[in-house]
Amino acid sequence: MLIASTFHPDWQRGDGERVYEAAPFFMLTFAQGPAAVSFERTRTERAGLYASGATLLLLLFITAWSCRGRLARKGRQDIKQITGEHTAEVGA
């Protein structure tokens, strides 16, 4: 049976028989009847995915927090220009 999907060692047949890499985008398995093929990630792979997701969320939070400060400062400057407020510099 030729399967049109990229091969990865985590592909397993339900009956424990082997799944072979036939070409870059095809897998091959030999079956005499219906065969179920499933993909299951290992614990390490799942931990890596969770760590990547958490890192992405942290980076998005840091970026949003940084932009919030810059936008608030710019907003205060714009309000001062509109209202005509000026800060007087004290010279010696």
pLDDT tens-digit readout, 21-62: 998 899 988 988 888 888 888 899 999 999 999 999 999 999
User: Does residue 47 share a domain with residue 62?
Assistant: yes
Do 54 and 32 lie in one domain? The reply is no
Which residues constitute the domain of residue 13?
2-39
Q: Are 54 and 73 contained in the same domain?
A: yes
What is the per-residue DSSP string for 6-65?
Answer: ---TTEEETTS---EEEETTEEE---SS---EEE---HHHHHHHHHHHHHHHHHHHHHHH
pLDDT band at 66 (very low <50, low <70, confident <90, very high): confident
Residue 88 is assigned to a structural domain of this protein: no
Structural domain contains residue 92: no
**Do 77 and 51 share a domain, yes or no?**
yes
